[in-house]
Every structure is written in structure tokens, then in C-alpha cells.
Amino acid sequence: MATVTAVLEVKDFKAEVPPDWCPGCGDFGVLNGLFHACAELGRRPHEVLVVSGIGCSSNLPGFFRSYGVHSLHGRALPFATGAKLANHGMTVIVTGGDGDGYGIGLNHFIQAMRRNIDITYIVMDNETYGLTTGQVSPTSETGMITKTTPHGNLEGMLNPMALALASGCGYVARGFSGQPKHLQKLYTDAIRHPGFALIDVFSPCVTFNKHNSYEWFRKRVYRLEDSRHDPNDFHAAMDAALEWGEKIPIGLFYQNRSPRPSLHSQDPGLQAGVLVDQPLGVSKEQRRKLVEEFI
């Protein structure tokens, strides 16, 4: 990570195309925090790869000036995993929505944590499917009325924080797009964390989720940093993960003090260095040896 650092500003990360999110959409705050975090970290735009799936939130790479991929709905993490393994010199950030990451993409999310690939995963969690205009999402509250649950959502709310903890994720945090400075801090720490890092961000969909509004969140969220929470305490983190109601914690839930080595640092095939920097093909000598195995 961050082998070279340059002096960079927010404008270096602003794409020419302005975001086309609805005015007031929470995703603006998320993007803004990311501009600041990347400027702070000093990675140059061409050394950063932002990968997303499909959704309002997943449009983010188009508004961020770095290499970007707008992949398939739910498949940003596998795409980014392949990308990171191929060029682990890059800073790889994955951005997307709750539907993208916790719905269709949930399997990849859990396995990516298990595999500890060095990716920062930012989920713009608006508790709905924004781009498809407001259906129930895995993080919609039980009982919530949406276009597809007119009698109320019957399913239990998916708990990304608890799942992350249960899956061995070494950096587990939650932010709120109404608090971009706080977000920025979570981002920079997450990107610096050598392994998989999750930041679930409450990012209100002002158009289709009238329930989980800015107001709703503002009334409830409190910062773990302001409480006596110890982010190295797994059990405390699990307790925080289960807290949902009048008070909802944001901030750093958990960070592993001695994190497992990240996948690229361990993969036997990557021991010579960055994959894309290696010569293609096989030496004459190796070739002979390999053919020999069949004789």
C-alpha cells in the first residue's frame, strides 16, 4: 500500500461528470468523504481502482477520478478480488449498495472477508433498492412498507456488522453520510488496514425511502468513539453490532490488533511480486521440466 505519496487535493479526484443522484441523496456525502480521504492518503488517482456493482450507489466510480469499473449487479467484490490479485500495487476500493452487496452479492461479501483480500468495501446502505425505485432490501427493517411489501416486510433485517464479525473481518465500521468528516476518518483507517475492511454507511435515499430519513438517523446514531467502546474487543463489537433501536452505534466497531496476513501477501503464485509485472510464459528450462513430468 501507498508506496509513493503525493500532495493531492480533493479536485484531483473529482470526475468531469457530475453525479446524477437526486438532490439530497446520501451518496453525495459518501463520495465527498472519499474525495477527502483519498487526497489525505496521497495515492495518485491512477494508483487507485474503484469497482462497483449496479445501483444508484454503484454509479459512484463514474463521479470519482481514478481507474474505475462499473461491473455487474452484486459482482463488484469478485471482480475487485481478481483485480487486486493481479495488481496488488493498486489501492482497491469497492463501492455499492445494500442490495448489491447484502442481497445478490452476499455470498461474495462473506467469502471475501474469509479470504481477507486487501480491499476497502464501502456500502451505501439506504435500506432500499434505489435505482429500481424503492423495493425492499435485506437491510429494510422488519415491518417496513415498500413497493414490494405493501403489507410490511416479513423478513428479519440482515445485520452486516454481525456477519462481518462472524466472518473474521479485521476492520468493521459504520458511518453516516450526514457526518462526512467522521466518514473520512473511517475511510482512511480502512484503506490503511492491511486486509479486508468494511464500512457500512447509512446513506439515505431521499426519494424512495421515506422511513430511514436523515432525521431518523440523526435521532438515533451515536459514535462509538464517544462511548467507552474498545474496538479491539470482539465481544463488545458483537454487542454493538446487535444494538438497533432508539440508539444505533456508528464508528469503528472492531479492528483486529494483529490482523491475519492479507491474501495477496500469502498466495504462492505472487511471491515474485506484482503479477502483472512478471514476464509472461515459462522459461525454456521450466518448460522442459514440465514436459518431463509426463514421460
Ligand X SMILES: Cc1ncc(C[n+]2csc(CCOP(=O)(O)OP(=O)(O)O)c2C)c(N)n1
| Interface residues toward ligand SF4, by CB under 6 A | 21-22, 25, 27, 56, 126, 130, 205-208
Give the x/- contact pattern for its own copies in 167-196, rule: CB under 8 A.
xx----------------------------
Looking at residues 114 to 133 of the shown chain, list those that interact with another protein (rule: CB under 8 A): 115, 129, 131-133
Give CA–CA dist 58/12, Å, rounded. 20
Our finding on whether 97 is near Mg ion (CB under 5 A) is yes
Give the x/- contact pattern for ligand X in 1-40, rule: CB under 6 A.
----------------------------------------
Which residues are 47's β-sheet partners?
none
Give CA–CA dist 76/54, Å, rounded. 9
Our finding on whether 126 is near Mg ion (CB under 5 A) is yes
Strands 171-176 and 248-255: antiparallel
Set of cell numbers at residue 142: 422488519
Query: Could you identify the residue written with the cell 451515536?
Result: 222
CB of residue 164 vs its own copies: minimum separation in angstroms? Answer: 9
Tell me which of ligand SF4, Mg ion, ligand X, none is bound by residue 100, counting a contact when its beta carbon lies within the kind-specific cut-off of 5 to 8 angstroms.
ligand X
List strand residue ranges (DSSP E) for 45-150, in order: 48-52, 67-70, 91-97, 120-125
Give the x/- contact pattern for another protein in 86-105, rule: CB under 8 A.
xx-xx------------xx-
Residue placing its CB nearer to ligand SF4 in the complex, 56 or 113: 56
Our finding on whether 166 is near its own copies (CB under 8 A) is yes
Under 8 Å CB-to-CB from 112, ≥6 apart: which residues? 77, 78, 81, 119, 121, 196
Our finding on whether 124 is near ligand X (CB under 6 A) is yes
Give CA–CA dist 49/142, Å, rounded. 36
Binding ligand X by CB under 6 A: which of 71, 120, 137, 140? 137
Give the x/- contact pattern for its own copies in 91-110, rule: CB under 8 A.
-------------x-xx--x
**Helix or strand (DSSP H, E) at 106:** helix 106-115
Binding its own copies by CB under 8 A: which of 115, 174, 182, 193? 115
Set of cell numbers at residue 4: 509513493
Give CA–CA dist 277/196, Å, rounded. 23
Our finding on whether 56 is near ligand X (CB under 6 A) is yes
Tell me which of ligand SF4, ligand X, Mg ion, none is bound by residue 213, counting a contact when its beta carbon lies within the kind-specific cut-off of 5 to 8 angstroms.
none
Our finding on whether 175 is near ligand X (CB under 6 A) is no
Give the three-state DSSP class for 101: helix
Exposed/middle/buried for 27, CB within 10 Å: 0-12, 13-18, 19+? buried
Binding stretches for Mg ion (CB under 5 A)? 97-99, 126, 130
